[in-house]
Amino acid sequence: MASVKDKFIVNGDNSCYLVNPEFISEGVTAKELDDYFDIDDYKKSARVIDVHHGRGATYLVQDKYKRRIVIRHYYRGGFIGRILEDKFLKFFKSSRRSFNEFELLITMKKMGLSIPKPIVARMEKNFLFVRNDIIMLEIPGTKNLEEILSERRLSDAEILKVGDALGRLFKAGIYHSDLNITNILFDGANNVWIVDFDKCIQKTINKKQYNSMVERLNRSFEKIKSKRNNFNWTKDNWNKLDSAIKSSFEKDY
């Protein structure tokens, strides 16, 4: 039985696209893909649904197929980000951040993990530098843990669901470089999703890396808790989550 292609490449004059054929058929042109990323066009046609402002703006829009999609531009962090902002030197692996994230998402989707579906990634080249963008399908009806815990407590069953999802992620060899409570979502059917896999990699997770991810997650709970009086999270909740992650990570499926 022939294998099903999970991606194809389209080259433009100064750009390269990695495309998911589940959403966009082969034969698409670089110009059509460039238009697909055109935020100004979405604004002019009143198809911008929401904008999230972080390091940069992430747009939730409706595309021409009536799909709700998320468009994210990649920015650099730290001191170097103040200088280069969104430009990545083409000699380094970091110059293909959108392609790296796209390919990792495809790999994780094959593993059955609950993560976003990538539609298309773009690298735009300009002399020594590369700019990156990615488009993903929206996960409908979601709230992240910060939003939920600002409104109510998690039930023990929900804590176990989060722990199971994270344990499966680690067991699959996914090192999440920025695991925090805004990257863990519940949808309307109470399913758990993990998002934001920029700069994440697949590898065998050792004890040090496992502890690094879990400790980072714990710090994110404590950081928000220190800022909000109504944040519904306790040390006992964390102990339950910590135990659930470990149990799922060590489980033989």
Rounded Cα distance, 43 and 248, in Å = 44
> What is the CA 48 to chain-centroid distance, rounded?
20
CA distances from 130 to 87, 133, 158 (A): 6, 10, 41
What tokens were used for 67?
Answer: 């799909």
List alpha helices for the chain, DSSP H.
30-36, 39-44, 78-84, 97-110, 145-149, 156-171, 207-227, 235-250
Which residues are annotated as catalytic?
A: 178
DSSP string covering 120-151: EEEEEEETTEEEEEEEEE--TT-EEHHHHHTT
Question: In angstroms, what is the C-alpha Rg of the chain?
Answer: 19
Run of H or E including 164: helix 156-171
Phi-psi region of 143 (alpha: psi -120 to 50; beta: other; left: phi over 0): beta
End-to-end CA distance of the chain: 27
Q: Provide the β-strand partners of residue 59.
A: 51, 71
> Do the beta carbons of residue 97 and residue 81 sit within 8 Å?
no
